[in-house]
A and B are shown apart, each in its own frame.
Chain A
Amino acid sequence: MTKRMKAGLAVALAVGLGLASPAEATEKKTVAYLAPSLDISYWQWVGYGVKKKAEELGMDYVEFTSENSPAKQMDNARTAVTKGVDAIVIGPVSSTSTPPLLAYLKSQNIPIAFAGIGPQPGQTDYTSSVTANNFETGKAQGSFVCKLAKERGGNKVGMLSLPQDRENAQKYLKGAEEAFKADGCDLVQMLETRGLTVNEAVTQANDMLTAHPDIKGIYGMYDEAGTGAAKVLETRGLTGKVGIAVADGSPTTIGLLKANAIQGIFFQEAVGQGLDGTQQVYNALTGAPVEKDLALVMPLVTADKVDSAEAKGVIDRVFPPAN
């Protein structure tokens, strides 16, 4: 090798190393979003929040769906780690599916934030849990529904519930029952959904009002329940005569709120949970302070305030603007 060649090689190596070092320093982090299933708008909206925050923070975003299977969820976590993700935001299939997942991610030093559904009680090996405060929301919504019923001359209320094998549904119910008792209302019937469809909610609301025609307030624990109940009241000529409050919120129920077909929405901040969860794992990666348990209050928006700036701020944290 001639001197000139050696010198050229040395320069090339120096340039190569010089270029490589800054690239390594600015290497983009990747966050993976593990959704329980992406056929439900709520989990798409959480994903939107994760993606949006990842963009803001200069992170790459990848998405996996667990198709409501704990086994698939575990496979997805392993695949994500194999792909080299730096952090995970997860909407778990269920709280009880999380212990083996957390043990695995701990062994891999991957920070994880929960969104929407928290880890199994007693688990501590997670970075952050960003969920709705279901008990307090249940209490506030119960109180609001009771007020609606009393304004309409009664104290009998009905409930269209999420399946009660879910922890969030149990907390909603417990909170609501406390509020009904404190405020003097009587929960005369609760029907649990199986399919989470409007059609099912229509049938259930119809049956509930047939069995208890004196119901004056309906507590909808999920969005489709409010839509179905509003449809039934419209068919029966009872719009406004029976009050409805619903949890979650969507463009459909906002439309019903504006039309005074329902009286209040307790918004669950799906996008907000994705935003906050991503911020927490980023903080963990960069050594910034982390908030372990964030129980977001579900703010109430009523028909008269739905167009206010405050309500718009809330709605921005519920679903993406394209909706």
Chain B
Amino acid sequence: MTEASTQQALRNGSAPLPIRQRESVIGAYRTEIAIAIAIVLLALAVGSQVPQALSWGNFANITQAGAPLMIMSLGVLLVVITGGIDLSVGSVFSLTGMVTAQAMAHGFGGVGASLIGLGVGLVFGSINGFLVTIAGLAPFVVTLITFAVAGSLAFIVTNGRSMPIGDPDFWLLNSGSLVPGMPNYILFCVVLLVAIEIFLKKMVAGRWFYAVGSSSAAAFLLGIPVKRTKFLAYVASSLLASFSGLLTISYILNAESTAGSSLMLQAIAAVVIGGASLLGGTGTAVGAALGALMITVIQNGVNLIGINSFWQGSVTGVAILIAVLIDRFSKSRRRAA
């Protein structure tokens, strides 16, 4: 086969990937593959203690419990790739739930209330993006402020009371099946994961995120719209936090002011476990999703085995440390090669 005919066959999708290209795909996802193997080993270890851990039922438990964290992590990833940080996602998650439930209590249907809830994400994402890009404030400070404000508003909305969900059909958002045989929460995770991965890896605008995170100054000199890219990252992060909040209240049919309080750190941890650097410029959607899955599998395993839940933080911390060390080791080997 000549070079030209090989290229033609590749364009038509009729030829297998050349060995070098397959190797580059494996190389590009080396961290993610390591995490996936670690998750499988972890699940097997839990399964050796509690056989039900490897059942389909438990798989459903893990995916259901991990879906909101996974979606939130994808948003946080976008900010982290640009070299920023978003500490407000947990509070935005909680406030979205409270506002949506309150909207339903005031007569809005599930769709209308959900749009109002997503409006919370849009507003807070825009505030974060504006203050970081236009006002030039540090992302840590800005999102710490919005974390506090959104968290406070989540209590103010109902004076701290939890709110039942008024629309009896609202459960369909999470547990219905737009695609037969696949619950919506899995569908949303898969669609968002694939869309964000393709956006980051295959689209020009997606590559700008990495360029901005690697060096804002260099990106600016190359003509990349740095401020717009950062602004979009914060808006996307808050919107995805809002959406994960909607999925959660759709599942439990109850909104709570503190629902997202532990999720912010978990989302950042998931992104770091997934191979992203908090300095910006690296990370993949697949890695962030696997990071979220790993945290969920750890929590699930701790519960199944019956270890005191206060150990979850320590176990997650050790997992992050191992992931970071593996990533650093793997990168230094590649540099040496």
Min Cβ gap B100→A in Å is 15
Across the interface, do A39 and B160 meet the contact criterion of CB distance under 8 Å?
yes
With A40-B160, A199-B259 given, is the CB distance from A211 to B252 under 8 Å?
no
The verdict on A199 contacting B256 (CB below 8 Å), with A38-B160, A192-B310, A207-B300 known, is yes
Given contacts A199-B259, A210-B53, whether A204 and B252 have CB atoms under 8 Å apart is no
Chain B interfacial residues counted at CB < 8 A: 37
Inter-subunit contact A252/B164 (CB<8 Å): yes
Pairwise interchain contact A252-B254, C-beta atoms closer than 8 A:
yes
Quote the shortest CB–CB distance from A36 to chain B (angstroms). 13
A286 to B306, CA, bound (A): 53
Which residues 86-139 of A sit at the B interface, judged by CB distance below 8 A?
A: none
- Say yes or no: B308 contacts A210, CB within 8 Å: no
Contact of B24 with A by CB under 8 A: no
> Does residue B55 face the partner (Cβ distance < 8 Å to A)?
yes
List, in ascending order, chain B residues with CB within 8 A of A194's CB: 262, 309-310, 312
Q: Give the Cβ gap from B256 to chain A, nearest Cβ, in Å.
A: 5
- Among the 9-residue stretches B57-65, B110-118, B268-276, the one with 4 or more Cβ atoms under 8 Å from chain A is B57-65
Smallest CB gap from B300: residue in A? A207
Q: Closest residue of chain B to A211, judged by CB?
A: B304
Q: Is the CB of A198 within 8 A of B61?
A: no
- Residues of B near A156 (CB, < 8 A) are none
Chain A nearest CB from B1 CB (Å) reads: 52
Taking A44-B160, A199-B256 as contacts, is the C-beta distance between A213 and B309 under 8 angstroms? no
In angstroms, Cα B312 to Cα A191, docked, is 12
* Inter-subunit contact B259/A197 (CB<8 Å): yes
**B253 interfacial by beta-carbon distance below 8 Å:** yes
Q: CB-nearest residue of chain B relative to A250?
A: B162
Contact present for B252 and A198 (CB under 8 Å): yes
Task: Give the residue name and chain of the A residue nearest to B66 (CB).
Answer: A203
On chain B, the residues within 8 Å of A198 by CB distance are 162, 252, 254, 256, 259
User: Would A39 and B61 be within 8 Å (CB), given that A210-B53, A210-B55, A227-B254 are in contact?
Assistant: no
- Selected from B65, B162, B252, the residue in CB contact (under 8 A) with A231 is B252
Instruction: Say yes or no: B159 contacts A44, CB within 8 Å.
Output: yes
Within 8 A of A (CB), among B99-127: none
B269 vs chain A, min Cβ distance (A) = 15
Q: Tell me the bound Cα distance from A235 to B309 in angstroms.
A: 24
**With A and B bound together, what is the CA distance between A196 and B248 in angstroms?**
15
User: In whole Å, how far is A305's beta carbon from the nearest beta carbon of chain B?
Assistant: 23
Cα(A202)–Cα(B248), bound, Å: 11
B257 interfacial by beta-carbon distance below 8 Å: yes
Q: Is B155 engaged at the interface, CB distance under 8 Å to the other chain? A: yes
Q: Once the chains are docked, how many angstroms separate the CA of A211 from the CA of B51?
A: 8
Give residues 45-77 of B contacting A (CB, 8 Å).
50, 52-53, 55, 57-58, 61, 64-65
A199 CA to B300 CA in the complex, in Å?
14
Q: Let me know if B277 is at the binding interface, CB within 8 A.
A: no
Query: Are the C-beta atoms of A210 and B57 separated by less than 8 Å?
Result: yes
CB of B30 to closest CB in A, whole Å: 31
Cross-chain contact B304 with A210 (CB below 8 angstroms): yes
Query: What's the minimum C-beta distance from B236 to chain A, rounded to whole angstroms?
Result: 23
**A102–B8 Cα gap in the complex (Å)?**
85
Q: Which of B299-315 contact A (CB under 8 A)?
A: 299-300, 303-306, 308-310, 312
Which residue of B is nearest A189, CB measured? B306
A210 with B259, Cβ < 8 A, contacts A41-B160, A199-B252, A252-B164 known = no
A206 at the interface (CB under 8 A from B): yes
List B residues at the A interface (Cβ < 8 Å): 50, 52-53, 55, 57-58, 61, 64-65, 155, 159-162, 164, 175, 248, 251-254, 256-259, 261-262, 299-300, 303-306, 308-310, 312
In the complex, 19 of the A-B residue pairs with CB atoms within 8 angstroms, ordered by the A residue number, are A38-B160, A40-B160, A44-B160, A190-B306, A191-B303, A193-B309, A194-B312, A195-B262, A197-B256, A197-B261, A199-B251, A203-B303, A206-B61, A211-B304, A231-B252, A252-B164, A252-B254, A255-B164, A323-B161
Going nearest first, the 10 A-B pairs with the smallest beta carbon separation are: A207-B303, A206-B61, A211-B304, A203-B65, A210-B58, A39-B160, A210-B52, A198-B252, A198-B254, A192-B309
Query: Which residues of A pack against B, CB within 8 Å?
Result: 38-41, 44, 163-164, 189-199, 202-204, 206-208, 210-211, 213, 224, 227-228, 231, 235, 250, 252, 255, 323
Apart from A198-B254, A210-B57, list 12 A-B contacts with CB within 8 A. A39-B155, A41-B162, A190-B306, A193-B309, A195-B262, A198-B162, A198-B256, A202-B251, A203-B299, A210-B61, A211-B50, A224-B256
